[in-house]
Amino acid sequence: MLQFFAKYKFFAVVLFILSAIIISIIYSILKPNRTLPVYEPDMVNTELVDSTVQYIRKYHKIADFSLINQNGQRITQENYKDKIYVADFFFTTCQTICPIMTGHMKEIQDRLKDDQEVLLLSHSVTPKIDDVNRLKKYAIKKGVDDTRWNLVTGDKKQIYDLARKSYLAAKSDGDGGPYDMVHTENFVLVDKKKRIRGFYDGTDPEAIDQLMEDINVLKNEGR
């Protein structure tokens, strides 16, 4: 009996390896690819969503916009056409979460330096303070790549509407002052169809790693 097993040991090992390979191939074929949710306003914390859009359950998209970047160039949705992008809200004089968020945006920029499919967009929530000159100095200081990452200023109402009606990423005190919008730490992942596909804590390194993984999911989704 032992001689019988010894004789066919090689064939048994080969058969085992082939079976494992076949099972692995079948599993990879049958396993569904991971997809990201499409976020609608009714899925998000109501504190971050303007009351006029809280009821929306489908077809939500980022509204058209026209803002000015750190180089004095007009930036619109056309600059982000057919691109995946990460958006956030900040202000240059912020000394709390903004430096951390900007540092993580820089990390994303560097990790995607050879990827022309993904861009970044940061909106100032104090546009009267953050004019083009201030944004340019901030961009230089933080290592912003002008070809990949726009820091934008412009009409305050438009920016606030974008924050609460489009990106669903800011609270409002409603006091009418220069700081009457409390921006969150959220990074917002937007797909090529201008839909929100994820929210990430821009101060958390682990969330940034998750964001990078989800960007790859979106890229594969489009292929």
Is residue 20 a part of any domain in this protein?
no
183 annotated binding-site participant: yes
Q: Which residues constitute the domain of residue 54? A: 41-221
Is residue 32 a part of any domain in this protein?
no
Residue 5: phi and psi, rounded to 5, are -65, -40
Is residue 170 a part of any domain in this protein?
yes
104 annotated binding-site participant: no
| DSSP character at residue 167 | S
Mean pLDDT of the chain: 88
Q: 211: domain CATH number?
A: 3.40.30.10
123 annotated binding-site participant: no
- Model pLDDT for residues 75-96, shown as the tens digit of each residue: 999 999 999 999 999 999 999 9
Residues in Cβ contact with 74 at an 8 Å cutoff, skipping those fewer than 6 apart: 66, 67, 68
Tokens of 193: 């169809």
Half-sphere CA count of 222, side-chain side, radius 13 A: 13
- Model pLDDT for residues 100-132, shown as the tens digit of each residue: 999 999 999 999 999 999 999 999 999 999 999
- Model pLDDT for residues 21-80, shown as the tens digit of each residue: 665 555 445 446 789 999 999 999 999 999 999 999 999 999 999 999 999 999 999 999
pTM of the model: 0.84
Is residue 19 a part of any domain in this protein?
no
Is residue 84 a part of any domain in this protein?
yes
Is residue 31 a part of any domain in this protein?
no
Is residue 29 a part of any domain in this protein?
no
Task: Average the pLDDT over 156-173 and give the result.
Answer: 90
Total structural domains within the chain: 1
Is residue 164 a part of any domain in this protein?
yes
